[in-house]
Structure 1
Amino acid sequence: MTNYQFKIEKIIDQIKSKEAKVVGLQFPEGLKIYATDLAREIEEQTDTLVLISGDPCYGACDLSDKEMEGLADLLIHFGHTPLPIDQKIPTIFIEANYQLESMKILKEALQHLDGKKKIGLVTTTQHLHLLEDAEHLLEENGKIVIMRAGTGTLKGQVLGCNFSSVQDLPVDAFLYLGSGNFHPLGIKLSTKKTVIIADPYLNQVRNIDEFADKILRIRFARITRASEAERFGILISSKEGQSRWELAKTLKKMISKEGKEAYLILLDEINPPSLMPFMNLDAFVVTACPRIAVDDSKMYDKPILTPQELEIVLGVRDWENYEMDEIKY
């Protein structure tokens, strides 16, 4: 039995109304285990053939519409809300809401918010439906809850590459409902405010400060090492939702202005094997998903920088003005 709602009735209705003959299914990594069950259910209830995308999926920025064009009539993308990017085939987004068994984790989080009156409540796509109940619980305990939509995000929603919903929010602290550390890290670095995580998967409440300090030390070491680099590779994603071609060209000019070499490299998947042919370069700058440089840095032998970190290397930005990279949609 799963804690996720896949809205199978809605999916079946959409397939029938669009008279789709071949339906593509795409899932983020954590939801792929449900792919074959959903495919079987769809094929049993409709006269369609289901095609499952087995490639990695990092978000709504990483649709398999291009790969399925000419194969599928309709793409069902699970786990994310749509971004303002063009789609090659009709695409339906299913949030795959996570069902929280109780609000106990939020009640525990309140103990970490003593002395904090105005609370920014934030989460990711899978938990957006829980925000209203969470807001009521916080207000019943004397908190003032402040939420807003961002550029390309819904009210109270953050993405791994978009923290516009929390920037300049007049709050004393943030309460993040969800798993992992990357999103809370982005909130912390974007706002410099206290960030408390209520993690329903680990059934754990924690402050992001210790993790943020650890990551900043790692990033400082990468920047320091890259300051000696003379030859840079600028990595550009072929994924439409992650492609920042104009930024890549700007970074190349910035590097060349300092008398260093820069090479533009286009990739669909950015990982250690894909960079092996370019190990004659000293460092790389990622213009694709910001998580590649921060989350995966230990996987690479050479420094992998964000565009803002390159600015620090080149003396264009001070370390004290460090900030997370974001993709503006």
Structure 2
Amino acid sequence: MTNYQFKIDEILDKIRSMGAKVVGLQFPEGLKVHATEIAREIENETGAMVLISGDPCYGACDIADVEMEGLVDFLVHFGHTPLPIDHKVPTFFVEAHYQLESMEILKESLIHLEGTEKIGLVTTTQHLHLLEDAARFLEENGKQVLMKEGKGTLKGQVLGCNFSSVHDLPVDTFLYLGSGNFHPLGIKLSTKKPVIIVDPYLNQVRDIDEFADRILRIRFARITRASEAEKFGILVSSKGGQSRWELAKVLKKMIYKEGKEAYLILLDEINPPSLMPFMDLDAFIVTACPRIAIDDSKMYEKPLLTPQELEIVLGRRDWEDYEMDEIKY
């Protein structure tokens, strides 16, 4: 069916044991293409009715339990590991491990790791099952591999909003197994150490330095522009796993102490159209998903800042102490 492991038999057993009549399914964007196929198998095998969430899903912080409360008996969430938050509906998490055809790409990484002894090995949910084999390969080639659990994350796992598994890890270099640049960027900015990306999808090994430099230049430009702002919008998420209401109130007080205006704005989806009615404000601070300000900044007419970037704007933090925003679970 796919290169992903969806644990269908385990899901079917859970549905039967619970006697669930209506089952909810939720997928991140990259896995939604498998939704109807999985729904068909569940309905054929159990007789339960399936309700598929069609809304965007950004992670385990964005569970469809609130929307599905009263509609389903059981929710299956694909692609993420659970966070320490309560859910309105019994929820089963399926990590949806990606099956790689080969780990040959790791051999190429040894060239980039030449002269490096202690390696921090890191990945995302879809590749957690590959870490032990990757660690064994590196150790057989003379490397010392270190991994640890984070606050709310498994050993060697990072999230887009949580890099606690790499904090204070005594290594020379981090090796990130996976695709994309955001997670390696977070590792780099959280640790100030070299990060090598082993991307099995592109069959490529690269470092994050050039991308990190480009992002930091963009962030510096946003901060510089926002330093002239007099009126700020503080964006608060209504998503359970992204809501940082207490932080938002602290930031509002901080801004007022500097003689500037601040307004709290509650949103479920943060996107350019949702901010259009508030164009009288000069800049926005995102207390929701930390990726929004970094990944999507070019989409917005006004600067979007992280809470740490606001501190730089207000003179409470030096640019040299720049940090990635993280959600502490």
The amino acid that maps onto 1:20 is A
Superposition deviation, residue 107 in structure 1 = 1.2
The percent of aligned pairs where both chains have the same amino acid is 82
- Residue 265 of structure 1 corresponds to 265
- Residue 110 of structure 2 corresponds to 110
Does residue 292 in structure 1 map to residue 296 in structure 2?
no
Report the secondary structure of 2:47's partner residue: coil
CA distance in 2, matches of 1:202, 1:68: 37
**C-alpha offsets along residues 74-113 of structure 1, whole Å, 9 cap, x if unaligned?**
0000000000001001000000000011111111111111
- Residue 80 of structure 1 corresponds to 80
The amino acid that maps onto 1:65 is D
Once the two structures are overlaid, the 10-residue window that deviates more, 286-295 or 108-117, is: 108-117
Aligned 1:198-213 pairs, distance under 5 A: 198-213=198-213
The amino acid that maps onto 2:244 is R
Superposition deviation, residue 161 in structure 1 = 0.5
Report the secondary structure of 2:77's partner residue: strand
CA RMSD of aligned residues (A): 0.5
**C-alpha offsets along residues 221-247 of structure 1, whole Å, 9 cap, x if unaligned?**
000000000000000000010000000
CA distance in 1, matches of 2:242, 2:232: 20
- Residue 250 of structure 1 corresponds to 250
In the superposition, the TM-score normalised over structure 1's length comes to 0.99
CA distance in 2, matches of 1:298, 1:110: 36
CA distance in 1, matches of 2:298, 2:2: 33
- Residue 15 of structure 1 corresponds to 15
Superposition deviation, residue 291 in structure 1 = 0.2
Report the secondary structure of 2:89's partner residue: coil
- Residue 241 of structure 1 corresponds to 241
Superposition deviation, residue 143 in structure 1 = 0.3
**C-alpha offsets along residues 243-298 of structure 1, whole Å, 9 cap, x if unaligned?**
00000000000000000000000000000010000011000000000000000000
Superposition deviation, residue 5 in structure 1 = 0.3
The amino acid that maps onto 2:206 is R
The amino acid that maps onto 1:78 is F
Does residue 195 in structure 1 map to residue 195 in structure 2?
yes
CA distance in 1, matches of 2:123, 2:155: 9
CA distance in 1, matches of 2:103, 2:201: 13
The amino acid that maps onto 1:209 is D
The amino acid that maps onto 2:86 is D
- Residue 276 of structure 2 corresponds to 276
Equivalent pairs counted in the alignment come to: 329
Report the secondary structure of 1:25's partner residue: strand
Report the secondary structure of 2:168's partner residue: coil
Does residue 166 in structure 1 map to residue 166 in structure 2?
yes
The amino acid that maps onto 1:23 is V
Q: Which runs of 5+ in 2 are unaligned?
A: none
**C-alpha offsets along residues 38-91 of structure 1, whole Å, 9 cap, x if unaligned?**
111111111100000000000000000000000010000000000000100100
- Residue 125 of structure 1 corresponds to 125
Superposition deviation, residue 201 in structure 1 = 1.4
CA distance in 2, matches of 1:108, 1:6: 30
- Residue 42 of structure 1 corresponds to 42
Report the secondary structure of 2:241's partner residue: helix
Q: Which runs of 5+ in 1 are unaligned?
A: none
CA distance in 2, matches of 1:33, 1:208: 30
In the superposition, the TM-score normalised over structure 2's length comes to 0.99
CA distance in 1, matches of 2:159, 2:14: 27
CA distance in 1, matches of 2:110, 2:166: 20
- Residue 323 of structure 2 corresponds to 323
Superposition deviation, residue 202 in structure 1 = 1.3
The amino acid that maps onto 1:164 is S
CA distance in 1, matches of 2:181, 2:234: 26
Superposition deviation, residue 2 in structure 1 = 1.3
CA distance in 2, matches of 1:115, 1:23: 52
CA distance in 1, matches of 2:84, 2:192: 28
The amino acid that maps onto 1:296 is D
CA distance in 1, matches of 2:21, 2:175: 44
CA distance in 2, matches of 1:15, 1:199: 36
- Residue 309 of structure 1 corresponds to 309
Report the secondary structure of 1:221's partner residue: helix
CA distance in 2, matches of 1:110, 1:69: 49
CA distance in 2, matches of 1:231, 1:9: 54
The amino acid that maps onto 1:83 is L
The amino acid that maps onto 1:37 is E
**C-alpha offsets along residues 104-146 of structure 1, whole Å, 9 cap, x if unaligned?**
1111111111111000000000000000100100001100000
In the TM superposition, structure 1's runs of 4+ consecutive aligned residues that sit over 2 Å from their partners are: none
